[in-house]
Amino acid sequence: MNWPLFSVIYSMTATVTIGLFMIGALITGFNEIFHIQIAVGLGVLASIPAGLFFTKKIGSITGNEEGYKT
């Protein structure tokens, strides 16, 4: 696993997923802080599989599946 690539992709997917969940919570009327915290937690958890998926896809395209080697 390419951990540096995963960290970059995870930060992007987490930002997008958290934003989508927060907007969804606000649109549906769940605008209290507790509901927003739940949306953030679900966004963090839901972005882990997405980050792993896209890291493997990009790693297979570039031919660098093993990760950073010195």
Burial environment of residue 39 by CB neighbours within 10 A (0 to 12, 13 to 18, 19 or more): buried
pLDDT at 10: 96
For the chain, domain boundaries = 3-59
The pLDDT profile of the chain, 70 residues, written as one tens digit per residue, is: 788 889 999 999 999 999 999 999 999 999 999 999 999 999 999 999 999 999 988 888 877 666 555 4
Q: What is the residue type of 58?
A: I
